[in-house]
Every structure is written in C-alpha cells, then in structure tokens.
Chains A and B, each alone.
Chain A
C-alpha cells in the first residue's frame, strides 16, 4: 500500500518534470531580449533560468542579471524581483505554463569580499608608508624626524583596525548579496584610500603636535573598547543569518542591539572618535563626520525597513522601540 502511494507520487513528479514551461525574456524597453524565449522544465527555479540565460547570452553571468516581473507601463509600483531560490512556478499566474520576465543588466560584478578586501587594503598599506618612508622629503621637509609615542600607537591602532576589518570580511560577514557592481570598486577605493592618505599625512607629519599623555590614553583606550564591542556586534549579526546567505531580516537582539538598531555602526563611529581624541587632527575629524553621515544614512534605511517589516500585524513581532544609531541624538 505504501509502496503503491510512493510509486504514484514519484510518477506525478516525473510527469511534472516532463512538462515544460515557456519563459519570455524581455528588456525594460519591452523588446524581446532572448529570441524565441526559453523552455525550462516545470520545477525549474529562478537560478535555473539565470543559468539558461547565461548559456544563451554568454556575457551575462547570473550575478549580473536582475530579473523582475513586468509592471504595466506608467505604474508607480516597484517591480517584483525574482529571488534565485524560488521556483518559477511561484511567480506564474494560476495554472499558467508560461511567464514573462524583464531583464536588466547590472553591469560587471565583483564579489563583496573582493570589494571589501581592496578598499581596506589601501589604508592598511598607505598609512605605514607615511610612517616608515621618508615621504615628507618630497613635500620639502628635510632633516630628521622625531617620532612621538602617540604616532607609534596610532600606527598600531590604525593597522589593527583595518586588519580586523579584512579578517571579518573573510571569516565573519555573511552577505545578503553575493556581488556588487564593479564601479563601486573605484568609488569605494577612492574614498578609503584618499582619506587614509589624508589622515596618515597629518598624523605622521614631522611637525605633528601631540596631545597630552592622558588624552592619548583615554582616546586609544576608549577606541579599543569600542573596536572590541564592534567585533562582538558583528558576531551577533553574523548569527542572524544562515550560512547559505538566504538573506531575510530578523530583529537583532542582545548586547547593544537591545537599545540601538545599528549598534555595529555606533561602535564603529565611537571607535573613530577614540582615535581622533588621541591623535587630534582636522583630517581625522573630517573623516569621522563624513563616515558618520554615510553610516547614519544606512542606519535610517535599515531602521525604517525593520520597522516596516515587523509591524506587529498578522502574527509578526513588532519591532521594539530603539535608538537608530547614536543615542541620545538619533
């Protein structure tokens, strides 16, 4: 009896597999992107479709493809993006055996790990260059340099920070998207490498003026505590995601996340504040302000998204009342 049921259900699956579905792929202007469309089996996933498109077009590997359901022209509704794990049938209309998807080329992509590695490598290498090499001779400063203790500690602190970031990139972070557009490599590297050089130039300058010993100790001490806290925040965030990166949002809990949504950004900002208290340069503070504003933008978006997702309706939990990024300001 059991054997009979199993045989019938596997026959049904077989039958479904033998059934084909037609996928029409159009560009955003409406014209047919893949001539004649594609034929896939009934249980195909979006990932299968992406593979098929890649095979046909050669140039557009899956991470470069953005596939959406068509929206009626003039509609202001955001199009539904096809998730690579779901089966195509989930996106089809009732009982239909065909589907139209809209293709967009996201441009050449790099993995997030590659992107982060190169943007962090710059500061890690450039800063020591200003410390160790006679760079300032080229700016017209001849003669011997006197190195203050704070400059040595600043070197260690800075390099530790970016070394930590690189390690986290490879061993801690779980990314929701696997890739990022190639253009971001140039943009992000310009940001990190320019600011890294800008700060390194002033803190290692022959005419650098150190602050008091106490201020230095407070700055670096506070900064180190925040870096450790930041690391712990990253561990918590990592555990919110499953290893296969199936994305999905969860309410972060524990440690500082109980009071602030983006505790990881909070600790990062305060950590740079510690560095600046110890090294006191306009360049460092400018960087702090810019970095804070960038992270604040991200934090506001994330906070809003979480509040919208966890609205307390239909059995979903309600997002608790929390600071966004910088208690007691925001």
Chain B
C-alpha cells in the first residue's frame, strides 16, 4: 500500500512539474518571439494566458507543502508565491496601463528562465529519480543574476503602477461602514514596497545558504 502511494505521489508530482514547465516554456518562447517580431510593449499581451495559468497553479505548491507531499517549508514558499501572485494579478492584470512598460519584459524573462530550470529539475527527479549535476548547478546558480533582475523588475513595476492605482480607487474600502474598517490599495502597495527592503536580502541570503548546502552535498556524493 505504501509503495503504491509513493508511486502515485511520484506520478502526480511528475505530471504537475512537467505541465507547469510547459507553461513557463511557452511564456519564454512567446516573450522572445514578440521581442523579435515587434517590441517590448506587446510582450504582456502575448504571454498573458500561459503566465496567468502557470503562475496561479503555483498555489498548489502551498497545498503540497501543507499536506506533506513535498518537503519545502511553507515559510519560504509563502512569501515567494505571495509576491508572484501580487505582481501577476494585483498589478499587471489589474492595471492595464502598466502592461506596456519595459520592466514587464525583464520580469517575465527572469521569472520564466528561473521556473523552466526549477520545474524541469523537479520533473526529472520525480519522474526519473535523478537530475544531472549541471542541472543542479543551474538551479542553484542562475538565481545569483535572476533574483536581482526579477526583484528589481517587481519593485519597479509596483512603483510605476502607483499613479494608476491611486487614480483608479480599485480594491478600496472606504468609511463609514458598520465594521469601522478601511483599506486603501495605494497605501498597501507602498507598504508592500517597504517589505522588499528586508525581504529581498533575506530571500537572497536564504538561496545562498541553499546553494551552499546543495552544491556541497552533491560534491560529497
């Protein structure tokens, strides 16, 4: 019974990882194709569908962590997925005016390369039981460049979207109301920008630690 469940888990995770891999591969492919054929302002429109799908599917990973299907602690997956979903739905999808910004291109390319490497890495391990050492190296080294480019794109896009957020009044709750509650999406966005100040070095340091662990472990083997 136990080995049947293990096999089922492996099958499910293989399908999951390779499916999402295809999604992100599409994103990168369409982004590069659009850049070649026209310009950066059309990148979002070209990648919107696979981007929304592939990024939203990542919430399943929180579930995987919670039920113990994977080992990743949810303390590190939650902020990561949170910021991705915020950018995808809370900024890009909600405020169309920002979609033509050049930072969308850098964002989408940084994200897609990272995810292509990551999902194929897990896909290999679940389906075939191993991943070649160059793959491991890629997985734990590309972040050194892609984290800064990705994070800068995220911060930049939130910042440049601020005027549109303020003007639209979207997602705001105003007083008076019987629960004496208010929410201002504009100020929440500024607060979110603030979290990047301690958050980014923390995540980067965390990945550096992971890199050290993973690469030294593979050396020993």
A209 close to B181 (CB less than 8 A): no
Chain A residues with CB under 8 Å of B175's CB are 205, 207-209
CB of B3 closer than 8 Å to a CB of A: no
B143-182 contact mask (Cβ, 8 Å, vs A): 1 or 0 = 0000000000000000000000000000000011111111
Chain A residues with CB under 8 Å of B182's CB are 202
Chain B residues with CB under 8 Å of A207's CB are 175-176
B179 close to A280 (CB less than 8 A): yes
A306 CB to nearest B CB, Å: 30
Alpha-carbon separation in the docked complex, A273 to B178 (Å): 17
Chain A residues with CB under 8 Å of B181's CB are 202, 281-283
Chain A residues with CB under 8 Å of B176's CB are 207-209
Chain B interface bracket (under 10, 10 to 19, 20 to 34, 35 or more): under 10
CB of A203 closer than 8 Å to a CB of B: yes
Alpha-carbon separation in the docked complex, A132 to B74 (Å): 44
- Closest residue of chain A to B174 (Cβ to Cβ) is A207
Alpha-carbon separation in the docked complex, A86 to B135 (Å): 59
B169-197 contact mask (Cβ, 8 Å, vs A): 1 or 0 = 00000011111111000000000000000
Chain B residues with CB under 8 Å of A209's CB are 175-178, 180
Alpha-carbon separation in the docked complex, A280 to B179 (Å): 6
B99 CB to nearest A CB, Å: 30
Q: Which of A190-245 contact B (CB under 8 A)?
A: 202-203, 205, 207-209
Alpha-carbon separation in the docked complex, A297 to B179 (Å): 28
Alpha-carbon separation in the docked complex, A113 to B111 (Å): 50
Alpha-carbon separation in the docked complex, A208 to B178 (Å): 8
- Closest residue of chain B to A205 (Cβ to Cβ) is B175
Alpha-carbon separation in the docked complex, A202 to B176 (Å): 10
A39 CB to nearest B CB, Å: 44
Q: Which of A108-142 contact B (CB under 8 A)?
A: none
Q: Which of A270-303 contact B (CB under 8 A)?
A: 279-283
Alpha-carbon separation in the docked complex, A202 to B180 (Å): 6
A127 CB to nearest B CB, Å: 15
- Closest residue of chain A to B180 (Cβ to Cβ) is A281
- Closest residue of chain B to A199 (Cβ to Cβ) is B180
Alpha-carbon separation in the docked complex, A252 to B178 (Å): 42
Alpha-carbon separation in the docked complex, A203 to B175 (Å): 12
Chain B residues with CB under 8 Å of A202's CB are 180-182
Most buried by A among B177, B179, B180: B180
A195 CB to nearest B CB, Å: 15
A141 CB to nearest B CB, Å: 10
Alpha-carbon separation in the docked complex, A202 to B175 (Å): 10
Alpha-carbon separation in the docked complex, A24 to B182 (Å): 61
B187 CB to nearest A CB, Å: 10
A270 CB to nearest B CB, Å: 21
Alpha-carbon separation in the docked complex, A202 to B179 (Å): 10
B72-109 contact mask (Cβ, 8 Å, vs A): 1 or 0 = 00000000000000000000000000000000000000
B185 CB to nearest A CB, Å: 16
B173 CB to nearest A CB, Å: 9
Alpha-carbon separation in the docked complex, A281 to B182 (Å): 10
A155 CB to nearest B CB, Å: 15
Alpha-carbon separation in the docked complex, A203 to B182 (Å): 12
Alpha-carbon separation in the docked complex, A209 to B176 (Å): 6
Chain B residues with CB under 8 Å of A203's CB are 180
Alpha-carbon separation in the docked complex, A282 to B182 (Å): 9
A275 CB to nearest B CB, Å: 13
Alpha-carbon separation in the docked complex, A281 to B177 (Å): 10
B180 CB to nearest A CB, Å: 4
Chain B residues with CB under 8 Å of A282's CB are 179-181
- Closest residue of chain A to B175 (Cβ to Cβ) is A207
Chain B residues with CB under 8 Å of A280's CB are 178-180
A112 CB to nearest B CB, Å: 28
Chain B residues with CB under 8 Å of A279's CB are 180
Alpha-carbon separation in the docked complex, A293 to B179 (Å): 22
A136 CB to nearest B CB, Å: 11
B21-59 contact mask (Cβ, 8 Å, vs A): 1 or 0 = 000000000000000000000000000000000000000
B174 CB to nearest A CB, Å: 8
B74 CB to nearest A CB, Å: 17
Alpha-carbon separation in the docked complex, A209 to B181 (Å): 10
Chain B residues with CB under 8 Å of A283's CB are 180-181
A204 CB to nearest B CB, Å: 10
Chain A residues with CB under 8 Å of B180's CB are 202-203, 205, 208-209, 279-283
Alpha-carbon separation in the docked complex, A283 to B175 (Å): 13
The 17 listed contacts between A and B (C-beta, < 8 Å) are A202-B181, A203-B180, A205-B175, A205-B180, A207-B176, A208-B175, A208-B176, A208-B180, A209-B175, A209-B176, A209-B180, A281-B179, A281-B180, A281-B181, A282-B180, A282-B181, A283-B180
Q: A205-B180, A280-B178 are in contact. List 12 more A-B contacts (CB 8 A).
A: A202-B181, A207-B175, A207-B176, A208-B176, A208-B180, A209-B175, A209-B177, A209-B180, A281-B179, A282-B181, A283-B180, A283-B181
- 10 nearest CB pairs, A to B: A282-B181, A281-B180, A207-B175, A207-B176, A209-B176, A202-B180, A282-B179, A209-B178, A208-B180, A209-B180
